[in-house]
Structure 1
Amino acid sequence: MPQPGLSIGYLAERTGLAVSAIRYYETQGLLTPWRNAGGQRRFERADIRRLSFILIAQKFGFTLPEIRDQLATLPGKRTPTKADWQKLSTAFRGHLDARIAQLETLRDRLDGCIGCGCLSLDSCKLYNPQDAAAALGQGPRYVMGDDAADLGIDPGELRADSD
């Protein structure tokens, strides 16, 4: 008679993950297997979908804490229903939309000023004079969503003055 729950080996086979990766996700709080009478980990069938979600979210650049926060919205005491997954999907869509917007900004500004403070391009003198973007915080401020206008800098006005 087969034992209830899925073994970690079966889960690894179904998802293509190494057993060690599944154990790691467990230590990170992304999965909560139970133990059978023999002390072996057992997983629910829904954990296949959870692991698939983890893999997809990681490919999109989400961190394990971000993924854990999303998975925490699913019920822990029962198998998530389609409605549960739709609710997670709707919430996750906002995160994806923000990530897409950030990637589009990076794509569009990568050959110009990204507000990093390097001041190595001529356009940086216009969009980030004297590293003004540093007042907004660390990193590539304009790619992270800030704008020169947040500093009261009008690139058009600066460009006209530089002619």
Structure 2
Amino acid sequence: MKINPVTNRGLSIGQISDRTGLAPSAIRYYEDENLVTPFRNAGGQRRFERADIRRLSFVMIAQQLGFSIKQIKAAMGSLPDNRTPTKADWERLSRQFRADLDSRISQMQALRDKLDGCIGCGCLSLSHCKLYNPKDRIRTKGQGPRYLMGNSSDELP
């Protein structure tokens, strides 16, 4: 049990919960995952640094963007444990996520554009439909809706 020499400082789990909107059980889970590391006061109670509000907020946002705890943990591993992260620390961390987000956005835009044609066609022209897969030939390229994922009928054996 890590005890902070300044015994009555820090925020309680209830205060962190009020500030972030997270349930105390979620905060304890993030602690178990080493995403935040509260200290203990002389009475053994958890106490959080104010910087933990930002850390937990980042976790919440990253999860909403579809990042896993494992990915978030790896990214947050670059943040300093012994001091409040600076703007430069957060900018470095956001650059790690930017490429993945840009890729996801491109994939989603391409899917949206392909679905526009598919939804509008009414399947009256199966030879042009992105979902049409005669004799399941595209399965040789992998699982899932291969045409919507970027494969073309030109690639078939």
TM-score, normalised via structure 2 length:
0.75
**Do 1:106 and 1:143's aligned partners in 2 also have CA atoms closer than 8 Å?**
yes
Out of 147, 150, 155, the position equivalent to 1:152 is: 155
1:97 aligns with 2:102: yes
**Do 2:35 and 2:73's aligned partners in 1 also have CA atoms closer than 8 Å?**
yes
* SS, match of residue 29 in structure 1: coil
Match of 1:50 in 2: 55
* SS, match of residue 110 in structure 1: helix
Report deviation, 1:76.
Answer: 2.0
**Do 2:7 and 2:41's aligned partners in 1 also have CA atoms closer than 8 Å?**
no
| C-alpha separation in 2, matches of 1:132 and 1:30 | 46
| C-alpha separation in 1, matches of 2:47 and 2:99 | 33
Listed as ranges, the matches of 1:7-156 within 5 Å are 7-110=12-115, 112=118, 122=126, 123=129, 124-125=131-132, 128-142=133-147, 144=149, 146-148=150-152, 152-153=155-156
Q: What are the Cα deviations for residues 79-131 of structure 1, in whole angstroms up to 9, with x where unaligned?
A: 21111001011111112111211221232233549xxxxxxx92234xx5543
The code of the aligned residue for 2:155 comes to G
| C-alpha separation in 1, matches of 2:146 and 2:32 | 34
Gaps of 5+ in 1: 114-120, 154-163
The code of the aligned residue for 1:148 comes to S
Could you list the runs of 4 or more consecutive aligned residues of structure 1 that deviate by over 6 angstroms after TM superposition? none
Report deviation, 1:2.
Answer: 7.6
**Do 2:20 and 2:56's aligned partners in 1 also have CA atoms closer than 8 Å?**
yes
Count of residue pairs brought into register by the alignment: 142
TM-score, normalised via structure 1 length:
0.72
Same amino acid, percent of matched pairs: 56
Flag the structure with more relative contact order, 1 or 2, with Cα contacts below 8 A and sequence separation at least 6: 2
**Do 1:102 and 1:143's aligned partners in 2 also have CA atoms closer than 8 Å?**
no
| C-alpha separation in 1, matches of 2:76 and 2:148 | 28
> What's the Cα RMSD here?
2.7
